[in-house]
Structure 1
Amino acid sequence: MDRARQTVDSALDLIKKGVEKEREKSNELCKMRTAHNWVDYRSVSVQQDDETNSFFWRAHTVTILVFLVCCLFYVGLIEDPITDGDFNFKRGLLAALFFWVFLGMTIMPDGPFIRPHPALWRFAFTISIVYQLLLIVMLFQTPSDARKLVKHIDSSLGEPIPEKDYGGSCLIYDPSQPEDPYHNLKDKFDVFIFAHLFGYWCKTLIFRDWWLSTVISVMFEFLEYSLEHQLPNFSECWWDHWILDVLICNLGGTILGLFTLRYLKMKTYNWRGLWIIPTYRGKIKRIMAQFSPHSWIEFTWNPLSSLERWLAVIGIIVMFLITELNTFYLKYVFWLTPEHWLNFVRLFFMLLWGAVCLRETFQVLDDPECTKLGRQSFVLALIIFTEFLICVKFAWPTITKPIPQSIVIWWILGFVAVAIYTLIKFVLFKPTKLPEPEKEHIRVSPIHGTSRGTMFAYDPPHRNLDDQEEILEVLKQEQESKKLQ
């Protein structure tokens, strides 16, 4: 009897400790407000395949292994030797690149995005690592040697190019040329207007927030004002800065992005297998829908909700502004024309990497159980920093040109204003007690687990707590009954 009583007491103690631990964890999580229901996001399994197209979702590791071995076997033992050492080096380097890409697409873990296929995002991640390695190689070169290396990619490179000056006469109507009085305005309309529009449409989609896109748009124009003494490309007319760029192109792209975000937010994500759909029209729509998101998470950044979020949002803005500046300075140091295909390839992959990076960053900020920076965020931060170092090293005489005193004063005032606001908002008037969270319920789709609300308190499940308390109560009753006996 005593042994049974000791066993029951030890079981009761273990259950009490478990209940208290879960309750403390629950209370700690309930103090936090999150923009997305991460508990349901993790608990609901993501249906990637409807079991009718499973071939396209397998890793095919054995198939790729056999393919790579056959390629290496052909080059090593069957192909006739080539005596051109330069050609062999280039081809071997390209083969190593393809080997790494195939390996990464096969064995890399999936990221947060799965549409149109997880292999696309694994491919983008492997390319980011390759790009970072190339940047490290470039960082160890001199400017002339780096330009010679770029000539191996495109033989037309390596020659100095003139920088286009968008400033000059800022007259919208020039009466001195009656045959074409609006020539200044026409000169500013080129293909890059549509590039601005498309770029800010994409930025709004990956930020999922108009405020961040607008802040970056305005801040970059201030950077162009501040650095026009270094690059002639930054010298623009006032109406080119604020009307053509900010109000027409950037704001237009942001508005288009907001309409797209509204559509993606209101869309119902209910997926069916391709072969289950009876009509050909439905099958075609299902194939096209494969290129849309599998589910949707609305990014609610809330930069003023805490000091951590405020600093994180400032860091995101700074990183994007440095990325924008790197685009112009890399063109300058490597003598790339604005329309060169390398610029567009870099911007395309920056868009993919930035989308994954912001998704990972938002989860780190919003999910209480996510405490580790994502893989793509880590690599992208290295890429941006290495690009910046290359620009500083290769364009040192240009970057060290004296900045006008008025520009320095304005930037100092801006930094001081941000620092004072941060001190007042998050230190002097910091709330001493956290408010009770509002238990706003959120509709979750039974298939994909996406949220239908905008803001809710983090509400962890209490089913395990209830079960343990019931077990504790039953054991107490059994112990009392044994004492009576």
Structure 2
Amino acid sequence: MTERSPSLNDPFHFINERQVDNISLEFFYKPHTITALACSIILLFIWAFTRSDSALEKNIWNGLQAVLFMFIMISLICFPNGPFTRPHPALWRIVFGLSVFYLISLQFLLFQNFNDVKAILRWLDPERLNKMKLEEKEYAVNCSQVNATRIWSQLDIFAAGHFCGWAMKAMLVRHYGICWYISVSWEITEIAFSHLLPNFQECWWDAIILDILLCNGLGIWVGMVVCRKLEMRNYHWESIRQIRGTGGKLKRAALQFTPASWTTVRWMDPNCTYMRIIAVWILVVIWQVTELNTFFIKHIFAIDTSHPLVIFRLFLIALIVAPTIRQYYKYVTDPNCTRVGTQLWVFCAITLTEAILCIKFSRELFAQTQLLLLCIWLLVLLFGTVVCVYLCIAWASRSRKDNSDFQTNNDLNMKKNSLSTTTGTDMTTKNPILQVDMLKCRRRANSQPMEQAD
């Protein structure tokens, strides 16, 4: 069998192994596999023979560091570039390698018990990761007292985190409608899971004014402004049905059942508004689950929010999400793209594994889950997705119509001006009397200022 080489025009190849265009410095983009191998072995050789191996814990820690280092080197050489080439494809190969390593680590933790996981955490940080229960701040206290001083006192480090986080999310999603919907849906998610995590309970003005309008809203606006400044591509998640009229739709439905003109339609067909609704709904649900994993992991394993382990996970997830959203967008909008990207696959595996990990190590907590409330939450997200997609479609249609009318009026005005200029020039040239009158008018106009000056 002959190996099939990927085509450059293949959509999957474009989002999974994108090549760099217009290379100016060839040195930074040429493969240096032998040099990387030599440097890696020399570095490991020096490290292994110059360190002390008397302490068991230090030996294990250095061994894990060496494993991670070699895994990153392999990812630099073997793993795909992904959909991005800036600042350098090597960065995104490292991100993909770290995501795979994180997924493998989650698989290892999945087959341990709770005490073993806590022992590993205490081994990593004996002082800050030895707690069995996390002391969390209560936000739903004295909600009836609403004033400027009370609202200002709630602006802490978490408010700054909301702002920065949503600025980054806006740069990833690049769509006002989707960003605002995810922001509102997260507040709904907090209400739906507040019976499991009391930390989700907050005052109405905290959720609406501080979170949605102030922190999230400003973050979304700043992120979209940065996108325009950097000339990043805007994603158009809404779709408008291309077939107009009842007759055309009926004909299309009839042709769907004829063998001669049968067309294979993917489940995520971007030309179908219903499938686009499902695509956006899946995006929102996975997004909510990813956010929920952050809070459940902190609550179950008693990890403080300011701990470097939490910050590193959030930073890693943010880097992973960037190519993931690009690959997902390409998959749901391009009918020729029949496979999901590798980074998207790994991200979904990470999200679901984290959810399974939380359920396994906190069965008593999740036994209190109200299934009816969970079903209502999913239905509310689905209904909100329908409203969001149709509002985006209506807004996009109106914007395109206004732009089309404006362009048409400009074209008509330009034609009228051109026609009047041409007609006036022709009449003046052909009529000698008009030429004499125009000459007299020019002389009078030139003489009037001189008379006034005298």
Pair in the same fold by TM > 0.5:
yes
Kindly provide the CA deviation profile for residues 235-263 of structure 1, in whole angstroms up to 9, marking residues without a partner as x: 11110011110011111111112222333
Rg bigger for which structure? 2
Question: 2: distance between equivalents of 1:408 and 1:319?
Answer: 15
**264 and 393 in structure 1: CA distance in 2 versus 1, 3 angstrom threshold:** same
Contact 2:44 2:66 (C-alpha < 8 Å) held by counterparts: no
Per the TM alignment, residue 172 of structure 1 is displaced from its structure 2 partner at its CA by 3.4
Equivalent in the alignment of 2:163: 197
What secondary structure sits across from 1:145 in the alignment? helix
**Residues 398-417 of structure 1: per-residue CA shift (max 9 Å, x gap):** 22225397x56854763785
Is 1:87 the counterpart of 2:23? The answer is: no
The alignment status of 1:363 with 2:337, answered yes or no, reads no
Matches within 5 A, 1:274-353: 296-302=232-238, 305-306=271-272, 307-353=274-320
Q: Which runs of 5+ in 1 are unaligned?
A: 1-36, 175-180, 266-295, 426-485
Give distance in 2, aligned partners of 1:173 and 1:301: 38
**Partner residue, 2:114:** 143
Are the counterparts in 1 of residues 138 and 199 from structure 2 also a CA contact under 8 Å? yes
Q: Kindly tell me: are residues 48 and 389 of structure 1, through their superposed partners in 2, closer, same or farther at Cα, counting changes over 3 Å?
A: farther
Amino acid at match of 1:256: V
Stretch moving more, 361-370 or 135-144: 361-370
2:11/2:337 contact within 8 Å kept? no
CA contact (8 A) 1:330 1:391 kept: yes
Check 1:418–1:394 CA distance in 2 against 1; reply closer, same or farther (3 A cut). same
- Per the normalisation by structure 1, the TM-score is 0.65
Distance of aligned partners of 1:309 and 1:332 in 2 relative to their CA distance in 1, 3 Å threshold: same
Contact 1:303 1:313 in 2 (8 A): no
Check 1:339–1:303 CA distance in 2 against 1; reply closer, same or farther (3 A cut). Answer: farther
Q: How many percent identity over aligned positions? A: 31
* SS of alignment partner, residue 373 of structure 1: coil
Partner of 1:172: 145
Aligned residue for 2:200?
234
CA contact (8 A) 2:185 2:381 kept: no
Give the whole-Å Cα distance in 2 for the aligned partners of 1:68 and 1:416: 50
Q: State how far apart, in whole Å, the 2-side matches of 1:343 and 1:81 are.
A: 31
Separation (CA, whole Å) in 2 of partners of 1:82 and 1:415 = 55
Structure 2 vs 1, CA of residues 263 and 417 (structure 1 numbering), >3 Å: closer, same or farther?
Answer: closer
Contact in 2 for aligned 1:158/1:334 (Cα 8 Å): no
Distance 1:201 1:320 in 2: 16
- The alpha-carbon deviation at position 323 of structure 1 amounts to 0.4
Q: Runs of 5+ in structure 2 lacking a partner?
A: 1-9, 241-270, 391-454
1:49 aligns to 2:23 (yes or no):
yes
Q: For residue 29 of structure 1, what is the aligned residue in structure 2?
A: none
User: CA 1:238–1:124 in structure 2 vs 1: closer, same or farther (change >3 Å)?
Assistant: same
Question: For residue 413 of structure 2, what is the aligned residue in structure 1?
Answer: none
1:281-333 superposed Cα distances (whole Å, 9 cap, x missing partner): xxxxxxxxxxxxxxx43311126751332211111111101001111001111
Q: How far, CA to CA, are the matches of 1:217 and 1:244 in structure 2?
A: 12
8 Å contact kept, 1:164–1:232:
no
Kindly tell me the number of residue pairs found equivalent between the two proteins.
343
Shift of 1:355: 1.1
Distance in structure 2 (CA, Å) of the matches to 1:191 and 1:316: 28
Assess, with a 3 A threshold, how the Cα gap between structure 1 residues 105 and 152 changes in structure 2: closer, same or farther.
Answer: farther
Question: 182, 187, 190: which one pairs with 1:221?
Answer: 187
For 1:475, the equivalent position in structure 2 comes to none
1:134-182 per-residue CA deviation (whole Å, 9 max, x = no partner) reads 11111112222112112233222121321211111113358xxxxxx94
1:128 aligns with 2:99: yes
Asked if residue 118 in structure 1 is aligned to residue 89 in structure 2, the reply is yes
CA separation in 2, counterparts of 1:221 and 1:355? 23
RMSD: 3.0
Deviation track 1:442-485 (CA, whole Å, cap 9, x = no partner) reads xxxxxxxxxxxxxxxxxxxxxxxxxxxxxxxxxxxxxxxxxxxx
Query: 2:196·2:369 contact (CA, 8 Å) conserved in 1?
Result: no
Q: Which amino acid aligns with 1:310?
A: I
Higher relative contact order (CA 8 A, sep 6+): 1
Deviates further, 123-132 or 220-229: 220-229
Is the Cα contact below 8 Å between 1:172 and 1:185 reproduced in 2? no
TM-score scaled by length of structure 2: 0.69
Match of 1:116, SS state, is coil
Distance 1:399 1:194 in 2: 31
Aligned to 1:431: none
Letter in 2 for 1:64: A
Aligned to 1:251: 217
2:32 aligned to 60, 72, 92, which one?
A: 60
- CA shift for structure 1 position 376: 0.4
CA distance in 2, matches of 1:45, 1:112: 9
SS at match of 2:87: coil
